[in-house]
Amino acid sequence: MVERITPDDARIQWRNGVLNGKNYEYIFAEPRDSKIVNTIILVHGWPDLAFGWRYQIHFLLSLGFRVIAPNMMGYGATDAPDCLEFYTFKRACDDLATLASQLDLTSFVLAGHDWGGAVVYRFALRYPKLVSKLVVICTPFMISREKYTPLTKLPNFKYMLQLAGTEVENFIVGEVKLKQFFSGIFGGTTPEGEALFSPYHGIFLDRLETIGPPLLLSESELDFYVKSYLRNGIRGTLNWYRTDKLNFDEQESVFSVIDKPLFDMPVLFISCSSDGAVPPSLSKGMDIWFRNLTRKEINTGHWAMVENSEVVNQCMREFLK
């Protein structure tokens, strides 16, 4: 059984740092009984937290890694400004690079899940000398579109339109609804077995009140997620879905010269066979952009780090050794 950390675990520290003018909260942990072999930075997605890596942190410490897991912009005790420019991939990459500089890190492993996967791909392109290895869970690498295409014309990403709007942020307010929301996001269903989320629709807000307990969170973990989101609400986290055009405009410098492959460092991509939001089929054809790509597909849904933590950790162990 995989050992997980708790929010008040003595093996971790909750730290704060000012990165390019904004406060970030992050988990910091170092192995106590072994030499530090490297550092790994873990980047979460939506609607997760740094705590979403709880099944990996102790495991990585046991391998001799220093572990850093930030709450990204809009999450937890990290600042949640209204301005969308703070939520772009470029801003996230620059903030992570500043964090690395403050911690005197000149080379490290970078891992990401969901939105975090999209961030770490771009970080590896913007700051390749800092990244010794790259690990991405669920998120395929998608090359930039030559011409901007709005989300309204991409039916597979219909849920993003809902999240980019105001419906969800206006509805999911307060402790009760946040608890219902996270229960559904992490595996809870209605008495009829209906899920809260569908990639072809988004959040079924009319199902919130009948959602049962989460399958992937303990009661104390659920309380921690709710408490973390009560601080700033859900709006800041949804701003990540409102930056599509900004990200397109900013990525020109990264992809101005497309020279295959784009990634020289070793990369591990873990796809999840039952992930409805980002199915493995979306990764078809991405291999050409990598000089040294290791692919793994595991039998799990979107929340692979929790649902199938043992297999995820084993994949990481083999890749990081």
Q: Residue 165 gets which letter from DSSP?
A: S
Angle at 82 between CA 100 and CA 23, to 5 degrees: 30
Establish whether the linkage from the previous residue to 261 is cis, with ω within 30° of 0: yes
Active site residue 201: no
Q: Catalytic residue among 114, 249, 264, 287, which?
A: 114
Q: Which of 44, 58, 113, 302 is catalytic?
A: 302
Residue 178 has φ and ψ, to the nearest 5°, of: -65, -40
User: Which two three-digit tokens encode residue 197?
Assistant: 């989320």
- Give the pair of three-digit tokens for residue 320: 């990081």
Active site residue 58: no
Environment class of 146 (CB within 10 Å of its CB; exposed 0-12, middle 13-18, buried 19+): exposed
CB 32 within 8 A of CB 11: yes
> Which residue's entry shows tokens 């997980």?
4
Query: CB under 8 Å to 190, separation ≥6 — which residues?
Result: 207, 210, 211, 212
Catalytic site residues?
Answer: 114, 302
